Amino acid sequence: MRAVDKYKARVEAANSLLCVGLDSDTQELPARFLAGELPQWSFNRHIINATAQYAVAFKINMAFYESEGADGWRQLERTLAYLRERHPDILQICDAKRGDIGNTSAAYARAIFDALGFDAVTLNPYLGRDALQPFLDYEDRACIILCRTSNPGSAALQNLRFGDRPLWRIVAEMVASEWNENGNCMLVASGRDPAEMAQIRAIVGELTLLVPGIGAQGGDVKATVGAGLNREKGGLIINSSRGIIFADDPANAARALRDTINHFRFA
């Protein structure tokens, strides 16, 4: 199944737009997991078991696994294998923000899509379309391209104006009109500025938006949902990482956010 169709099927099956971010930083893990040989894997299994019923996607931030060397890679592979075995219908997103010249990008694409088997990956458009083409050529996988990010310093570049348009708007237009030939593009659009998100939605039509900035980063759920929904009351993958995985009760945190999103989704 194509990743974009897998996402849509999961939205309907789980009645959810929630993405759980597995940002399993070993410096933040509860002590009971650190005593084991593979703490990230044990922690991830715990979080997956607690939250899977509420999730449309799990997003794995590669930095927290790469920083652990070979052990981190092994724990990443176990996490992915567990998701494929227990929850093959849930989208697996690699948050790597890749983007490099041709043969390097081709190797990254093979690593993420072939070796690891992710459904989707976040990509940096700064080097242009040719840098992302090896990823775009995987028609059954999703390419989630950075457009408007949630970090405070992002405006210094993303709001630079070219004529009457900011750079993030140009990215949205290019992805929607030129880069999405295989129908496998999505965009990253911050939940911290609903007005900009509404403009992105108007530009890209029904394309799906991965939304950071909710949860620990303080984005407004009501405004985000109102600005970002597409005509099918979907088109959003609303991520929360720390706000769920490090909560005292991750299952309750995931359920509460899923229900809050749905409250505004169907209001």
Task: Give the strand pairing for 185-189 and 142-148.
Answer: parallel
Residue 112 and residue 92 in contact, taking contact as beta carbons nearer than 8 Å? no
Whole-number Å distance between alpha carbons of 253 and 37: 27
Whole-number Å distance between alpha carbons of 26 and 251: 21
59: annotated active-site residue: no
Give the active site residue among 8, 97, 222, 233. 97
- 10 Å CB burial of residue 152 (0-12, 13-18, 19+) is exposed
Buried b (16+ CB within 10 A) or exposed e, 112-124: bbeebebbbbbbb
Q: What is the DSSP string of 74-91?
A: HHHHHHHHHHHHH-TTSE
Please choose, from the candidates 181, 97, 190, 194, the residue with its C-alpha nearest in 3D space to the C-alpha of residue 144: 97
| Residues labelled catalytic | 97
